[in-house]
Structure 1
Amino acid sequence: MREQPIGEAVGDDEWDSGKVMWPPEEEIDFAAAHESLVKAVAGSRGVRFFRANIIDVPTDVYLGHVQMAIDEVTGEACGILLRTHVTGIDPETKEPILTDEATRPFKFPCSDGVEKAISIFCENLRLAGIFP
């Protein structure tokens, strides 16, 4: 699993709040990308889409998954966080009703690859109070 770069090596027992990690990101097809992310990068050429599950290190809790669009021509990245919430119970099947929620797309310069883009995006989510 990859961890958010923190500038210095730390031991396993030295993790503190604010640290997230993700398994290796996977490239996804344009059709699998969230509609708001696709709209945010419409008109761009050379865009590749990626997905990664985000895990809070101290609690080992799944925080959602990031979808990232990387425009290799302009050196820009655009990301969204997707979370699934239980919003009710189906009266007939008694199964939970799940609803996906996405953050607004966030564009930023990044020509250092998808791993760096995810790291920058996660740090911005933390600064915005979305991540612990």
Structure 2
Amino acid sequence: MREQPIGEVVEDDDWVPTGVMWPPEEEIEASEAHDSLVKAVAGSRGVKFFKASLIDVPSGCSLGNLQIAIDEVAGEACAIYVTTHIAQVDAETAEPVFVDETTRPFKFPHGTDVEDAISIFCKNLRLAGIIPSE
């Protein structure tokens, strides 16, 4: 008779989570999407727009947001990465003045669903060195 291996729990205190995560994406109207994204998909029919926040897993810090347009007919997605920076401080009110900075729209095959498209876009952001790599 063959002896079965004994399963035991292995604790690895050195394991550190890596990568990027996002809460569930939210569908938005075209009027809420960034102008550059809307222009990049102009002329396409049946495009749906979504947004999601990106979070760095190890630190829990927000990395910014993305907006993505899904064209089911063409099987394409187009996405931009949006970060917000303090551009200056208002001299009269001493309040910060925020400005959005975006990447150029990036088109790619969207995969199976919106979450897959976001994952593909994040992979490309990592490869470009825009967000932390895993």
Give the aligned partner of residue 43 of structure 2.
Answer: 43
Amino acid at match of 1:96: P
Give the aligned partner of residue 30 of structure 2.
Answer: 30
Detail structure 1 runs of 4+ shifted over 6 Å in the superposition. Answer: none
Identical amino acids, percent of aligned pairs: 63
TM-score norm. by structure 1 comes to 0.87
Distance (Å, rounded) in 2 between the aligned partners of 1:64 and 1:14: 22
Alpha-carbon shift at residue 128 of structure 1 (Å): 0.1
Amino acid at match of 1:110: H
Distance (Å, rounded) in 2 between the aligned partners of 1:14 and 1:45: 43
What is the RMSD of the two structures over their aligned residues, measured on CA atoms? Answer: 1.2
Task: Give 1:6-85 correspondences, 5 Å limit.
Answer: 13-16=15-18, 19-85=19-85
Q: Check conservation: 2:16, 2:58, Cα contact below 8 A.
A: no
Give the aligned partner of residue 114 of structure 1.
Answer: 114
Secondary structure in structure 2 of the residue aligned to 1:66: strand
TM-score norm. by structure 2 comes to 0.86
Alpha-carbon shift at residue 111 of structure 1 (Å): 3.9
Unaligned runs of 5+ in 2: 1-11
Aligned residues: 119
Distance (Å, rounded) in 2 between the aligned partners of 1:20 and 1:102: 18
